[in-house]
Amino acid sequence: MIHSLFIINSACDVFIEKHWKSIISRSVCDYFFDQHRKAINPEDIPPVIATPHHYLISIYRCGLYFVAVCMTEVPPLFVIEFLHRVVDTFEDYFSECSENVVKDNYVVVYELLDEMLDNGFPLATESNILKELIKPPNILRTIANSVTGKSNVSAILPSGQLSNVPWRRSGVKYTNNEAYFDVIEEVDAIIDKGGATVFAEIQGYIDCSIKLTGMPDLSLSFMNPRLFDDVSFHPCVRFKRWESERILSFIPPDGNFRLMSYHIGSQGIVAIPIYIRHTLALKETTTGSGRLDITVGPKQTLGRTIENVVIEVPMPKSVLNCTLIPNQGKHSFDPVSKVLTWEVGRIETTKLPNIRGTISLPVSPVVTDSNPVINVKFTINQLALSGLKVNRLDMYGEKYKPFKGVKYITKAGKFQVRM
Give pLDDT, residue 285: 52
Q: Do 80 and 6 reside in the same domain of the chain?
A: yes
Domain presence at residue 79: yes
My answer on whether 82 and 27 are in the same domain is yes
Helix (H) or strand (E) holding 147: helix 139-148
Kindly provide the residue ranges of all beta strands, DSSP E only, lying in 230-351, ordered along the sequence: 230-233, 247-250, 255-264, 274-281, 289-298, 306-314, 321-326, 330-334, 339-345
Of 47-61, 137-151, 230-244, the range with the lowest mean pLDDT is 137-151
- What three-state secondary structure class fits 32? helix
Shared domain check, 118 and 60: yes
Q: Is 43 helix (H, G, I), strand (E, B) or coil?
A: helix
Residue pair 265/327 in contact (Cβ under 8 Å)? The answer is no
Which letter, b or e, does each residue of 134-149 get, where b requires 16 or more Cβ atoms within 10 Å of its Cβ?
Answer: bbebeeeeeeeeeeee
Alpha-carbon distance 50 to 63, whole Å?
Answer: 23
Question: Do 74 and 51 belong together in one domain?
Answer: yes
Question: Are 356 and 278 part of one and the same domain?
Answer: yes
H or E element at residue 150: none
pLDDT tens-place string over residues 192-232: 988 888 889 999 999 999 999 999 999 999 998 888 888 99
Contact partners, residue 351, CB within 8 Å, separation at least 6: 327, 328
Both 35 and 77 in one domain: the answer is yes
Q: Is residue 333 part of a domain?
A: yes
256 and 281 belong to one structural domain = no
What CATH code is carried by the domain that includes residue 280? 2.60.40.1170
Q: Residues of the chain with pLDDT > 70: what percent?
A: 90
Task: Please indicate, yes or no, whether residues 106 and 242 belong to a single structural domain of this protein.
Answer: no
Domain presence at residue 170 = no
Rg of the chain over Cα atoms, rounded to whole angstroms, equals 25
- Residues 395 and 377 grouped into a single domain: no
Average pLDDT over residues 250-277: 85
DSSP letter string, 67-126: EEEESS---HHHHHHHHHHHHHHHHHHHSS--HHHHHHTHHHHHHHHHHHEETTEE----
Would you tell me how many other CB atoms lie within 10 Å of the CB of residue 202?
23
Number of domains in the chain: 3
- Specify if 153 maps to a domain: no
CATH of the domain at 18: 3.30.450.60
Do residues 82 and 25 both lie within one domain? yes
Query: Residue 169 domain-assigned?
Result: no
Residue range(s) defining the domain that contains residue 138: 2-148
- Are 189 and 294 part of one and the same domain? no
- Provide the pLDDT for residue 250: 94
pLDDT tens digits for range 332-371:
988 888 889 999 999 988 889 999 988 887 776 555 556 7
Please tell me the pTM assigned to this model: 0.79
